[in-house]
Amino acid sequence: MTGKTVLILGGGVGGLATANELRRLLPDEHRVVLVEKNPKHTFAPSFLWLMTGARRPEQIAQDVHQLVRPGVDLLLAEGQAIDIANSTVQTSTQMLHYDHLVVALGAELAPETIPGLAESAHTFYTFDGAAKLRDALQGFGGGTVAVVVSALPYKCPGAPHEGAMLIADTLRKRGLGKKTEVHLFSPEPQPMPVAGPTLGEAVKQMLAERGVSFHPLHKLTRVDPDARELAFDGKDPLKYDLLVAIPPHRGPKIARQAGLTNEAGWIPVDRTTLRTQHENVYALGDVTAISIPGRWKPDVAMLLPKAGVFAHAQGQVVARRIAVAITGTGEQDEFAGDGYCMLEAGESLSGFAFGNFFAEPSPQIELRKIGRIWHLGKVLFEQWWLAPYGMKRDVLGWMLAIGSKMFGIPIVK
């Protein structure tokens, strides 16, 4: 058997999971090459704690070299072009050949696609943005805060709701509760529509109890930075004092240019195997479009949410499938659509939603009672995810496995 090369594009959540699992499974004669443009990996769920001041930037970032299993060839470079016909990828430093390709490039943020948004809005959807927003919240003197989901789809269906609750909590702690209103606008009909009406009502109640007014079916069309005013399609405009946006998302340019994407710019894949329409080419995580059962509008199909929990599980499935294809041994694996999400509500409390997103006729998601234990679970996961390969990571991994067994949560290993 001659050595094969598996090339993984993108070393975020899904790419790291894929590379590390492949290196564990494949004999040494096969290469696992991971191409990542950013030498620093940042843990996105903790951007919210960076925003509130509960974390410093260096606590939620890690040198990407520390996060790859020994034996993974990490290339710090930008992927520039994928040539499917010739099984090559051009990067900013060299041309690479592959036998198996995994596209794990995530989603790009495109605030410039809504007039006025880029120059007027803060965001907790990026590492730098969350740090700047922390300073803005510390300097805020009270008034109207607008948190706006500016377009669909966006990553992590829980994050805008968590962000709004944590902003309200931060301003309350600063003594600005009575002088401040926090509004959350979304084009969706309810919070987290993918999880169904019961969970949506429960999240609405969580928001209301924490002083956040939720405004469904508000599609942002324009921002007037001078007048500090938001315009919505068919709804009244709103004057704001502080604007926080979840910017529009789009598929990465090189995937679009390679002809891998659908009209909306995302890569369609088989939902259980993560195969694209091209042989030996897989895609996973935020870059994909995966239809799931259930609809909230007759003309709009529901898509599997873009979330790290899925990227992580899909990475492990893809790694195992490629390992079986190369070695001819081992068990095939399939992605089953299970996922979970901790919903930070402030005061070290968190809700916990989990379930199966492929269930018929629509996803079956449960919300557990809000409590400190889910918050602690999120902290433990953060510590494990960012720990360098070695003993500390192993110990944290065992603690996660024990905790997930005790509370019956399907946390990915």
Ligand X SMILES: Cc1cc2nc3c(=O)[nH]c(=O)nc-3n(C[C@H](O)[C@H](O)[C@H](O)COP(=O)(O)OP(=O)(O)OC[C@H]3O[C@@H](n4cnc5c(N)ncnc54)[C@H](O)[C@@H]3O)c2cc1C
Site of interaction with ligand X (CB under 6 A): 10-15, 35-38, 44-45, 47-48, 78-79, 104-106, 124-125, 155-156, 159, 252, 254, 285-287, 306-309, 311, 341
Closest by alpha carbon to 120, among 18, 246, 225, 198? Answer: 225
Q: Which is nearer to ligand X, 7 or 238 (CB)?
A: 7
Q: Which is nearer to ligand X, 231 or 308 (CB)?
A: 308
Q: Which is nearer to ligand X, 231 or 322 (CB)?
A: 322
Report how far apart, in Å, the C-alpha atoms of 234 and of each of 121, 187, 220 are.
21, 12, 10
Structural tokens at position 84 = 């499917």
Nearest approach, Cβ of residue 212 and ligand X (Å): 16
Q: Which residue is nearest to ligand X (CB)?
A: 12
* CA pair distance 264, 12, nearest whole angstrom: 22
Strand 338-346 and strand 349-356: the pairing is: antiparallel
Q: Which is nearer to ligand X, 154 or 231 (CB)?
A: 154
Q: Which is nearer to ligand X, 10 or 196 (CB)?
A: 10
Q: Residue 153: is the preceding peptide bond cis (ω within 30°)?
A: yes
* CA pair distance 247, 237, nearest whole angstrom: 19
Q: Which is nearer to ligand X, 35 or 171 (CB)?
A: 35
CA 287 to centroid of chain Cα atoms: 10
Q: Which is nearer to ligand X, 46 or 190 (CB)?
A: 46
Map tokens 């500016």 to a residue: 150
Report how far apart, in Å, the C-alpha atoms of 130 and of each of 56, 155, 177, 357 are.
11, 16, 21, 29
Nearest approach, Cβ of residue 51 and ligand X (Å): 8
- The H-or-E segment that residue 168 falls in is helix 159-173
Nearest approach, Cβ of residue 138 and ligand X (Å): 19
Map tokens 């909590």 to a residue: 169
Closest by alpha carbon to 14, among 306, 259, 267, 383? Answer: 306
Nearest approach, Cβ of residue 267 and ligand X (Å): 11
Nearest approach, Cβ of residue 154 and ligand X (Å): 9
Nearest approach, Cβ of residue 362 and ligand X (Å): 20
Nearest approach, Cβ of residue 149 and ligand X (Å): 12
Q: Residue 361: is the preceding peptide bond cis (ω within 30°)?
A: yes
